[in-house]
């Protein structure tokens, strides 16, 4: 068989590339007669640029930007032709914060704006921003400040401060939009949430970033106030067909990365599913066309995985070619029916019982490879 191994990162333990290598090693141990091809993937979150740089003939440019608390942190811009790829998690990622520093009321996306500005300075005519894994909840106000809107002292100090923003704090917003007049700004995210409401950035994701319930409610109010002031400074356009207002806070993906999607929509961006952007960039359709089986995986296969993350994106892409897909995640919370509905022919979690967790964390490469080796013997038994 020709086996295509195409995992996401296993958050906190393995990068997508490391996971792909471990899975390939395991498969060849279990089925040495097979041909194995690997491609690391991302849905726009951590590892987005690294994954693309491994597959695309581009050049990476090193920059130094601000992290969520304003400290300098290294980052990269990948330039392929006239397209620049940037990863918001390199500047605003939750992994950049120690557990005691996780407070989305004060973390900022200013560094993401610096990354986007660097892409523009490199002459990009298309800028693809990967969203995911953020430790911020500031509606992208920090990004706007880095691109010339208002001041860093007002917009770049976290989401809670947005509750006091006035019209005077948003000078330069039209000039910022003009910088993208001839640039295709692409928002690559796995999240379709709006900015506000029960399915919005604060209600759904702020708690994962360290906010208490009271802080999440305060952030919801602050972001709502901010969006209202923005609408006064720059009234929403009208859809010519429906004659309804096009409100950036309601656009799909506006709530991604703590509302970073909202700011990018405000600048004229358009959203695409992050996994689709990556699959297209790495030529996944050509790869899957020559495969007999696809093996994918991620750290935790759960309800969020069904919302457009790598495993489901891979399954959908492979289904168009009639190629079966199996998943080997770190752990799985999906029932058999959900897995089948997602297009998976099988799910084989590394952690099958809670007691195995410590062993897996102690040797993530070895345990993943061993699990895949057992799966390979099932799916590709030796020739007789």
pLDDT tens track for 162-174 = 999 999 999 999 9
**Do residues 103 and 210 touch, judged by C-beta distance below 8 A?**
yes
pLDDT for 243: 74
For residue 18, pLDDT over 90 is answered with yes
Q: How far is it, in rounded angstroms, from Cα 32 to Cα 25?
A: 10
pLDDT for 240: 73
pLDDT for 89: 96
For residue 334, pLDDT over 90 is answered with no
pLDDT for 76: 98
Fold of 2-41+283-379: Rossmann fold (3.40.50)
| Residue that has been written with the tokens 């690997």 in this structure | 38
For residue 384, pLDDT over 70 is answered with no
pLDDT for 152: 97
Q: Where in the chain is the domain with CATH 3.40.50.10350?
A: 2-41+283-379
CATH homologous superfamily of 48-275 equals: Glycerate kinase, domain 2 (3.90.1510.10)
Mark residue 148 as left, alpha or beta (left: phi above 0; alpha: psi -120 to 50; beta: remaining): left
**What SS3 state is found at 332?**
strand
Q: Where in the chain is the domain with CATH 3.90.1510.10?
A: 48-275
Q: Percent of the chain, pLDDT > 70?
A: 97
Q: Percent of the chain, pLDDT > 90?
A: 84
For residue 375, pLDDT over 70 is answered with yes
- 55-63 own/partner pairs: CB under 8 Å, 24+ apart: 55/281, 55/282, 55/283, 56/80, 56/281, 56/282, 58/85, 61/118, 61/122, 63/114, 63/115, 63/118
Helix (H) or strand (E) holding 142: helix 141-146
Residue 353's pLDDT band, with cuts at 50, 70 and 90, is: low
Range in 12-16, 153-157, 182-186, 283-287 the model is least confident about: 12-16
For residue 215, pLDDT over 70 is answered with yes
Range in 134-143, 148-157, 162-171, 328-337 the model is least confident about: 328-337
DSSP 68: T
**Do residues 166 and 134 touch, judged by C-beta distance below 8 A?**
no
Query: Taking the model in full, what pTM does it have?
Result: 0.91
Helix (H) or strand (E) holding 26: helix 16-30
């Amino acid at each position: 068989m020709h086996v295509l191994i195409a995992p996401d990162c296993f958050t906190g333990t393995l990068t997508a590339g490391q996971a792909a290598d471990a899975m390939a090693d395991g498969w060849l141990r279990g089925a040495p007669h097979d041909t194995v091809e690997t491609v690391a993937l991302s849905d726009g979150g951590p590892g987005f640029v690294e994954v693309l740089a491994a597959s695309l003939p581009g050049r990476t440019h090193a920059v130094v930007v601000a992290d969520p608390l304003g400290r300098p942190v290294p980052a990269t811009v990948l330039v392929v032709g006239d397209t620049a790829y940037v990863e918001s998690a390199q500047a605003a990622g939750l992994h950049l914060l120690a557990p005691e520093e996780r407070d989305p009321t004060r973390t900022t996306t200013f560094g993401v704006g610096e990354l986007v500005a660097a892409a523009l300075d490199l002459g990009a005519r298309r800028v693809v921003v990967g969203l995911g894994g953020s430790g911020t909840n500031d509606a992208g106000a920090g990004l706007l400040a880095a691109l010339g809107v208002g001041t860093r002292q007002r917009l770049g100090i976290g989401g809670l401060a947005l509750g006091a923003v006035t019209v005077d704090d948003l000078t330069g917003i039209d000039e910022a939009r003009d910088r993208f007049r001839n640039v295709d700004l692409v928002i690559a995210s796995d999240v379709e949430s709006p900015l506000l409401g029960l399915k919005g950035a604060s209600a759904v994701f702020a708690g994962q970033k360290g906010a208490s319930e009271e802080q999440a409610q305060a952030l919801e109010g602050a972001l709502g106030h901010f969006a209202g002031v923005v609408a006064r400074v720059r009234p929403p356009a009208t859809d010519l067909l429906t004659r309804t207002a096009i409100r950036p806070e309601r656009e799909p993906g506006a709530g991604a990365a703590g509302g970073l999607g909202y700011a990018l929509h405000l600048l004229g961006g358009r959203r695409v599913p992050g996994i689709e952007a990556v699959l297209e960039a790495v030529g996944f359709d050509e790869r899957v066309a020559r495969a007999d089986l696809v093996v994918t995986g991620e750290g935790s296969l759960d309800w969020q995985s069904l919302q457009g993350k790598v495993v489901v994106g891979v399954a959908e892409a492979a289904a168009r070619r009639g190629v079966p897909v199996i998943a080997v995640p770190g752990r799985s919370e999906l029932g058999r029916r959900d897995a089948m509905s997602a297009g998976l022919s099988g799910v084989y979690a590394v952690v099958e019982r809670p007691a195995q967790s410590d062993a897996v964390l102690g040797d993530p490469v070895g345990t993943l490879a061993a699990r895949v080796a057992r799966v390979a013997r099932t799916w590709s038994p030796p020739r007789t």
